[in-house]
Chain A
Amino acid sequence: MSVTSVLDVKDLTIHYDNHPAVDNISFDVKQGDCLGIVGPNGAGKTTLFRAILGLQPFSGNIKLFGFEDSKYDSIIPLIGYVPQRVTFEPNFPATVYDVVSMGLISDKRIVQGIKLIQECDCCWNRIYQSIKKKDDKITQALHTVGLESLRNRRIGELSGGELQRVFIAKALVKDPLLLILDEPVASVDVESQTKFYNVIKTINEQNNITVIWSSHDLDAISKYANRVACMNKKLFFHGEKEKFFSDKELLKTYTESSMQMHMHDHNHDVH
């Protein structure tokens, strides 16, 4: 495997109560890629992400930066993840700053902190520097998503678009090597979507952070991703976006299956 391979998924299968949610898929993601994953609701996109993050049992093989098994767990904190849904108490007493700072905590950083204290002659100065550095990181992450002015606002008082950017800042604050975003602009207004896409473009191109992003928005995928994966439990396509969007048959199949799934959900809701 190439050293530039960030993610390598091979023969991945996941079952829920004997029904396949992900059926024998294989693909890889290279350093600096912006991979857009498309597929209808229930296609297994979230399940795939959860498997990559070690939250979902699976059969097959997943390697992160070439690592698997026990070393895999130590890589997971280096992934920034923005889930499709984050549920919290409306009165949760946390500010934007508090939530973004949660992204900084990791065992690695705690151990580094302890080492710092033990090795240091002038501990307080070093600890102050460390704290200052963390504060700078949070400020930088908030700047990237354009939320510096809301840093002391309680999260329960934010709009959907603002909350979305808080969770992206939380994922960015740890300086991730890989960013996974699960349908990040669903239920967000058009203006916020444009801001979001620009943030992702900056992160991917200027900071060279690899991005994997699921979406139903084919226009956005065609504009911002460089590679596309199309799945509906099975993987139908994985490759350059130009190839995907030039394949009319594939696009038609995707659109029809997406529409059928939508109609199925709609009928299910009605009944």
Chain B
Amino acid sequence: MILEALSYGFMQKALIAGIAVALICSFMGTFLVLRRYSLFGDGIAHVAFGGISVGLFLGVFPLWTAFIVSIFGGLGLQKLRQSTKISGDAAVAVVLVSGLAVGVILVSSSGGFSVDLFSFLFGSILLISNEDTMMILGISAGIITTLVILQKQFLHLTFNEEQAKLVGLRTTLLNYAFVVLASITVVTSMRLVGILLISALIVIPNITAMMFGKGFKKTVCISMSISVISVVSGILLSYSLNLAASGTIVIIAVGILVGTLILKSTGILRKVDIKTPSKITHNS
């Protein structure tokens, strides 16, 4: 069954693009989760919905308009957080509903939901073209290269922004670069799991990986492995059982998370405090 699935061109494209998306979402997601931007993906994906609607409304390739609108949405979100007293989650909510509202107005003006729009909302990895695959691969390579080059700076920025400033890092510039990269990651990944489930690929593999209690590089590797396993097995399982690929991928990622939690509770995995709400304050 698996060999038969792999012989199809659409499956090959889905797996190649899926693995690329799994890698960028998990790598970028490590920083997003640690910076408490977990819902950033959701916010930007909904802004992208507005961008896609603009593209469909104007008859332009919707992914390009989604990229442009999302990048501006991400920069706006960053500016909102930096220059006002609005908290991070509230800022995401403002940007999220704004993007959604624009999308709803344009969709209703152009006669309702189309097949194209549904494919962006729920993902359509099995339907992607050669051009889409090449575009996803190219953008993913660019994102991973940039993250590898800037990983130390982003890690320091994530750990403590003020301390990062004191070693000479240009924190404002890095923050904007981070938001632009994250926005591009979200829009690139929408074809795989769709706007509504994008946060799952960003958040779940990372919170699972952090339970292993390793250092940064090993955590990123574990997160990438979980993400790739979820995507590959999700695509193959969805083909075998005739299920929606996006939902299957997310359910497998959730399954790995639950399995890891069980391993931890039984003591097989080393006990590590996995609380996320409170921060450690080191009073030196």
- Seen from chain A, the residues whose Cβ lies within 8 Å of a Cβ on chain B are 53, 55, 74, 76-77, 79, 81-95, 97-99, 101-108, 152, 154, 156-157, 160, 163-164, 167, 170, 174, 181-188
Q: Is B34 an interface residue (CB 8 A)?
A: yes
Q: Which secondary structure characterizes the binding site on chain B?
A: mixed
Q: Is B153 an interface residue (CB 8 A)?
A: yes
How far does the Cβ of A145 sit from chain B's closest Cβ, in whole Å? 12
How far does the Cβ of B130 sit from chain A's closest Cβ, in whole Å? 36
Q: Is B281 an interface residue (CB 8 A)?
A: yes
Chain A positions within 8 Å of B274 at CB level = 91
B278 touches A90 (CB 8 A): yes
B159 touches A97 (CB 8 A): no
Chain A positions within 8 Å of B153 at CB level = 105
How many A-B Cβ pairs are below 8 Å?
132
Could you jot down 30 A-B contacts, CB within 8 Å? A77-B167, A77-B168, A87-B280, A87-B282, A88-B159, A88-B280, A89-B279, A90-B278, A90-B279, A90-B280, A91-B273, A92-B34, A93-B209, A93-B210, A93-B215, A93-B219, A95-B216, A102-B155, A104-B167, A105-B152, A156-B272, A156-B273, A160-B282, A160-B284, A164-B282, A167-B282, A170-B163, A182-B284, A185-B284, A187-B284
How far does the Cβ of A187 sit from chain B's closest Cβ, in whole Å? 4
Q: Report the bound CA distance from A89 to B152 in whole Å.
A: 17
B216 touches A98 (CB 8 A): yes
Chain B positions within 8 Å of A94 at CB level = 155, 159, 215-216
- Seen from chain B, the residues whose Cβ lies within 8 Å of a Cβ on chain A are 30, 34, 152-153, 155-156, 159-160, 162-170, 209-211, 213-216, 218-219, 272-276, 278-284
Chain A positions within 8 Å of B215 at CB level = 93-95, 97-98, 152, 154
B152 touches A167 (CB 8 A): no
Q: Looking at the complex, which one of A53, A90, A98 makes contact with B275 (CB distance below 8 Å)?
A: A90
Given the known inter-chain contacts A97-B215, A105-B153, A156-B280, please indicate yes or no for A76 contacting B34, CB distance below 8 A.
Answer: no
Additional 5 contacts, C-beta under 8 A, given A87-B281, A105-B152: A85-B282, A94-B159, A105-B168, A106-B167, A107-B170
How far does the Cβ of B159 sit from chain A's closest Cβ, in whole Å? 6
Q: Report the bound CA distance from A102 to B168 in whole Å.
A: 11
Chain B residue nearest to A161 in the complex (CB)? B284
Q: Report the bound CA distance from A117 to B169 in whole Å.
A: 21
Q: Looking at the complex, which one of B162, B163, B279, B283 makes contact with A102 (CB distance below 8 Å)?
A: B163
A76 touches B160 (CB 8 A): no
B273 touches A82 (CB 8 A): no
Q: Looking at the complex, which one of B168, B209, B280 makes contact with A89 (CB distance below 8 Å)?
A: B280
